[in-house]
Amino acid sequence: MNSALTSTGIVPFMERYSNSTREVAQDGRRGALMLTVSIKHPDAEGFIDAKLEKGKVTGANVSVRIDDEFMKAAMAGKPYTQQFPIDAKEPKFKKEVDAAKIWNKIIHNAWKSAEPGVLFWDTIIRESVPDCYADLGYKTISTNPCLTGETLVAVADGRGQVPIRQLAEEGRDVPVYCLNDKGRLDIQLMRNPRISGYRKKVFKVTLDDGSTIRTTSNHRFRLKNGAYQEVKDLKQGDSLMILTKFRGPVVNEEGRKQTDYWWFNDDRFQSTKSEHRMITEFYQGRKIRRGEVVHHIDYDSLNNRPDNLEIMDVKAHNALHKADMLGSQNPIFKIKADPRLVRTMLKAKSQGYIAKLDGNTVIVQKECEHCHQPFWTNYHRREISYCTFDCLNSFLNTNETVKEKRSNSVNQVFLEKAEQNKTAQLQVYTRLKYQLQRDPLMKEWEEECKEMGIPFRVRTKHGFDSFQELKTEAEFHNHRVVSVEFDGYEDVYNGTVDKHHNFFAGGWEVQTKDGKAKLVYLNQKNCGEIPLCPYDSCRLLAINLYGYVEAPFTDKAHFNFEKFGQHVQLAQRMMDDIIDLEIEKVEHILDKIDKDPEPDEIKATERRLWEKIHKACINGRRTGVGITAEGDMLAALGLRYGTNDAIEFSVKVHQALAINAYRSSTIMAGERGAFPIYDSEREKNNPFINRLREADPALYEEMLAKGRRNIALLTIAPTGTTSLMTQTTSGIEPAFLISYKRRRKVNPNDKDANVTFIDEVGDHWEEYYVFHHKFITWLEANGYDVDKVTRMAAEELRPIIEQSPYHRATANDVDWLQKVKMQGAIQKWVDHSISVTVNVPEETSEEMVRKIYQTAWEEGCKGCTIYRDGSRSGVLVSDSGNKGKPEAQFQETMPPKRPEVLEAAVVRFKNNAEDWIAVIGLYDKRPYEVFTGRAEDMFKFPDYVTSGWVIKAKDEEGHNRYDLQFLDKEGYRITIEGLSRSFNKEYWNYAKLISGVLRHGMPIAYVVDMVEGLNVPEDYINTWKNGVCRALKQFVPDGTKAATGNCPGCGDPEGLLYKEGCLMCKSCGYSECG
């Protein structure tokens, strides 16, 4: 507003809000913002164009709220009236616009830049049955409790943590970490990560370590005591439950630290878990057995992508590593020259032991105290006095003194007491730290414990070994709430987690005491699948549609509608019984509150909360009966997903579901009574109710006479554990893939070994197919030898797949327009919502975008966002250069002048079975220069260093010198002078050549292709170039096309794209990483 009391309109404010969002960041992550405006606003056209100008509104996404009046005007080529204020009966400003012109602009901009999205606002408002009772407390305020888009979710697919907005854009289910019913760390699939609310009021929760997370007010976090609390009810000082993920080594039996791995501590004592074992067990579907280990295929112990993890028995694993480390540089080769072993050997002999070397270990001879036979054991375990467990057990079971001592030591009561004491001591410490705003002194802590009547002695069996151990453990307990404050309006996101319905998010990075990376996450409940009014509950049930197909995958296949209708009515009755159980439990809670000894004024807030929940439950009795296996049902009936016949049949099934569920609810109203606020007059104009009346007039008349037991009944949720148990497709989705290829390393000398290919380092691999469960059923039903088919090559397999009903009916095959039609058609028979997001390939035309948007509106979808691959340069920045006609002449380029100091990334890799280091200097986050060499040539270079600075300096003679500088654990800068002196000259020259190519601007993908294509006979150079390529691939932007080559899986010459340093095919899903 200026001095003349006029405004410049909404567009300048878009830029201001966008800039503010970009200016605010934490730990390198910028903010997130969603801007929406009604199409009725006079500035809507400027809003639609705001992001076309390069560099404008780069910190926000935009969507337009479109009403039916506008859509009708656009389709008819008629004018449309805009006004301000948009909802005023007597607006201050009005103007007529060409609706078709603005609609064309929306289409063009969405095609060109993936924005704006559209929200069909009238459809959202009018389709809700509960909103007929909005004035009685059933106004839909939010579909779900949610998070803002920048929030990092702890994912279990090897990527570590990913913004929830990115998960939504990827459009795939993703495994996440969660807590099971016993409060232990687990992995389950998060289904359908998605935008779950537009322009919602969000709140910033600030914790005592300065970290923040932004959510809706009804988002629930897990407290230290295990209860979940909504954000709006959090109080200053509340302690939140956390998960820490940290990088740390394995310590061998000699006390020596070995390879670093990623570990989890789930806020409980001595419950550290390794990430690679958890991910392997989840993807393999079984526990790792005794005598098995998880092998990292690329030897990077921090790369926990599922295709990099392989279960092996210990002997095979040891043999593999032994084979990989043959040669003069093998540390074991030099074992006898290891001065530590020499010292240990001399020490053992000086103590009177008979000692010798066994591999890399000093062993000594002992005499068994039970059988008196000699045996050999590790010097560091020389106190062991028994040759076998049998001898040990025999001694323990026959020696009365030992038996008594053993039984007395195993005392569960004392263990529980120790756990309770530790928890109480930690609570005192963290509360003091929060109050004092510093680490409490030991004396202060002891005095506070005395006042609280809590034991404070350390070095006892009922507490911590030391005060320092308590302080270290307190790091897992110190996340207390400092403040909760309003933080604006924004699009929010969530997903639905199988089975346990919670997940971890946050991802704030700190350091361990060893200076290595540690990440901290908060546990929180996921959202539901039903748009809810305040204080209502989400009650879900899924019916397996495939189970009603009789004689599946045959000419006699048919859907048993009679049995389906009976089961739907039983399902609705079951759901209504569950509501009664819920009411009973809430009443028990209210009764307990009344009996609690606290004064009424203290209990008042809690009692009001449960009274509101009780009232919403009784008055509405909302349920959520849904389905799963839609894709498999259609295939079993011989219908191709997305075809008109399939859509027509799906609608018939969902209409039967709706009619039978509402019939059951009506019958129960006659038996048990209608939900208390039922009023047919309120619902008479609701579109969903009117569709029921048209489809089954008798049901509607019966509902008018008896009422209805439940305010709303149906939903379609992403079914997780249910679809895994039934081995079917999930929800209404098609099969993701009919088959996908995996690979495993094999020994060519093994019997029945099937070697598919040999890689460039000589390893033998077998490729094999994994099939969708019901495709196997189709094979069996049609007389195929399943075992034979599963071992076929791609060329043999393709004709068989083409004969199946799944052909051209998978997630990547289904026509986008038809999928929108199908979801919109089904939406008409679901009284809760389904939203649509459509990803289309780069070659999609503007006309197709128009058809998708228009179809989404016509078919009753509540919103639609289209992303055309490659349409948003700010999302995927490609190095592939100009896609148009190449220049006819060469163009000389000059590299940017090297500053004195460059940021550097430190990457470790294996070369010829040795540990190597690549130091990559970065100019504007892009590789500018490369230095490589053996790790042992880098003096004592710490394992925890992953970044630093490369400094260009002059030596005494005026020659250029490159130094590497990094921060040690205490934060001091350490400088290693003369990288060129540290590394082998031959590799220095190779790297110098690559650096010259990089700094002159060759796209990184082409540099990788060039290095991989070097034809040199020496094996040590081949392994070196593989390591360099792995290091450089980390900097290839996601979405970059491969420099050369067709996809090995499908032959698509344009299909291969880089994603997280790995080439993947957008057409068939092939991945070079397995």
Q: What is the mean pLDDT of residues 500-507?
A: 89
Q: Which of 426, 471, 466 is nearest to 449 (CA)?
A: 426
CATH number reported for the structural domain that contains residue 485 in this entry? 2.170.16.10
Cis peptide before 734 (omega within 30 of 0): no
Give percent above pLDDT 90 in the chain.
23
- pLDDT at site 250: 75
pLDDT, tens only, 709-742: 999 999 887 565 577 778 888 888 888 778 766 6
Query: Where do runs of H (alpha helix) occur along 627-749?
Result: 630-636, 644-672, 680-683, 687-695, 697-706, 721-726
CA-based max dimension of the chain: 104
pLDDT tier for residue 937 given thresholds of 50, 70 and 90: low
pLDDT at 26 over 50: no
Helix (H, G, I), strand (E, B) or coil at 37: strand
Both 545 and 686 in one domain: the answer is yes
Both 76 and 177 in one domain: the answer is no
Both 293 and 266 in one domain: the answer is no
Between CA 130 and CA 136, with CA 131 as vertex, the angle to 5 degrees is: 85
pLDDT, tens only, 212-266: 999 988 888 988 777 888 888 888 878 888 888 988 887 655 556 678 899 998 6
Q: Is residue 396 part of a domain?
A: yes
- pLDDT at site 653: 97
- pLDDT at site 873: 41
Q: What is the mean pLDDT of residues 959-984?
A: 79
- pLDDT at site 33: 58
- pLDDT at site 835: 44
pLDDT at 778 over 50: yes
pLDDT tier for residue 1008 given thresholds of 50, 70 and 90: confident
- pLDDT at site 753: 76
Q: Is residue 2 part of a domain?
A: no
The enclosing H or E element of 430 equals helix 412-436
Number of domains in the chain: 7
Give the domain extent around 318: 284-324
Helix (H, G, I), strand (E, B) or coil at 517: strand
pLDDT at 783 over 50: yes
pLDDT at 381 over 70: yes
pLDDT at 662 over 90: yes
Q: Which of 153, 519, 123 is nearest to 302 (CA)?
A: 519
Both 559 and 693 in one domain: the answer is yes
Q: Is residue 349 part of a domain?
A: yes
- pLDDT at site 719: 66
- pLDDT at site 861: 78
Contact status, residue 1052 vs residue 1041, Cβ threshold 8 Å: no
Domain final residue, candidates 127, 159, 180: 127
Report how far residue 953's alpha carbon sits from residue 42's, in angstroms, rounded to the nearest whole number: 60
Helix (H, G, I), strand (E, B) or coil at 1066: coil
- pLDDT at site 982: 63
- pLDDT at site 1068: 58
pLDDT tier for residue 887 given thresholds of 50, 70 and 90: very low
Q: Is residue 435 part of a domain?
A: yes
Question: Which residue would you say has higher pLDDT here, 162 or 327?
Answer: 162
pLDDT at 406 over 50: yes
Both 161 and 182 in one domain: the answer is yes
Q: What is the dihedral of CA 419, 423, 425, 429, to 10 degrees?
A: 150
Question: Which residue would you say has higher pLDDT here, 1041 or 506?
Answer: 506
Domain final residue, candidates 379, 409, 439: 409
Both 583 and 648 in one domain: the answer is yes
CB atoms within 10 A of CB 885: 6
Report how far residue 590's alpha carbon sits from residue 599's, in angstroms, rounded to the nearest whole number: 15
Question: Which residue would you say has higher pLDDT here, 131 or 231?
Answer: 231
Q: Which of 347-361, 709-723, 841-855, 876-890 has the lowest average pLDDT?
A: 876-890
The tokens of 829 are what?
């028979």
pLDDT at 743 over 80: no
- pLDDT at site 707: 94
Name residue 500's amino acid. Answer: H
CA 634 to chain CA centroid, Å, is 30
- pLDDT at site 53: 64
- pLDDT at site 933: 76
CA 742 to each of CA 160, 182, 843: distance values in angstroms, whole numbers, following the listed order? 22, 34, 30
Range ranked top by mean pLDDT from 20-29, 781-790, 971-980: 781-790
Give percent above pLDDT 70 in the chain.
77
Q: What is the mean pLDDT of residues 283-293?
A: 87
Report how far residue 707's alpha carbon sits from residue 619's, in angstroms, rounded to the nearest whole number: 13
pLDDT, tens only, 808-835: 888 667 887 788 888 888 888 988 765 4
Both 929 and 977 in one domain: the answer is yes
- pLDDT at site 331: 42
Report how far residue 429's alpha carbon sits from residue 470's, in angstroms, rounded to the nearest whole number: 8
- pLDDT at site 635: 96
Distant-in-sequence, close-in-space partners of 304: CB < 8 Å, separation ≥ 6: 158, 262, 275, 276, 279
Q: Which of 93-102, 366-375, 379-388 has the lowest average pLDDT?
A: 379-388
- pLDDT at site 233: 83
Contact status, residue 203 vs residue 485, Cβ threshold 8 Å: yes
CA 816 to each of CA 651, 765, 802, 850: distance values in angstroms, whole numbers, following the listed order? 18, 37, 20, 12
Question: Which residue would you say has higher pLDDT here, 384 or 671?
Answer: 671
In the numeric block, the tokens 């005192």 are attached to 428
Both 370 and 403 in one domain: the answer is yes
- pLDDT at site 836: 45
- pLDDT at site 586: 93
Q: What is the mean pLDDT of residues 67-75?
A: 91
Both 19 and 103 in one domain: the answer is yes
- pLDDT at site 555: 94
Question: Which residue would you say has higher pLDDT here, 16 or 31?
Answer: 16
pLDDT, tens only, 623-658: 989 999 999 999 999 999 989 999 999 999 999 999
Q: Which residues partner with 187 through β-bridges?
A: 177
pLDDT, tens only, 751-770: 777 777 676 557 777 777 77
CA 27 to chain CA centroid, Å, is 19
pLDDT, tens only, 576-630: 999 999 999 999 999 999 998 888 877 887 888 899 889 989 999 999 899 999 9
- pLDDT at site 332: 39
Both 316 and 341 in one domain: the answer is no
Q: What is the dihedral of CA 665, 667, 672, 675, to 10 degrees?
A: 40
- pLDDT at site 27: 43
Q: Which residues partner with 25 through β-bridges?
A: 30
Distant-in-sequence, close-in-space partners of 290: CB < 8 Å, separation ≥ 6: none
Both 515 and 558 in one domain: the answer is no
Q: Is residue 754 part of a domain?
A: no
Q: Is residue 625 part of a domain?
A: yes
Q: What is the mean pLDDT of residues 292-302?
A: 88
Both 201 and 314 in one domain: the answer is no
pLDDT at 880 over 60: no
Domain final residue, candidates 294, 324, 354: 324
Q: What is the mean pLDDT of the chain?
A: 79
- pLDDT at site 333: 41
pLDDT, tens only, 513-567: 777 888 889 988 875 544 456 677 768 899 999 999 999 999 999 999 999 999 9
Q: CA quadruple 909, 910, 911, 916: dihedral positive or negative?
A: positive
- pLDDT at site 876: 30
Q: Which residues partner with 37 through β-bridges?
A: 64
Q: Is residue 521 part of a domain?
A: yes
pLDDT, tens only, 906-931: 888 776 667 778 889 999 888 999 88
Q: Is residue 1019 part of a domain?
A: no
Report how far residue 72's alpha carbon sits from residue 68's, in angstroms, rounded to the nearest whole number: 6
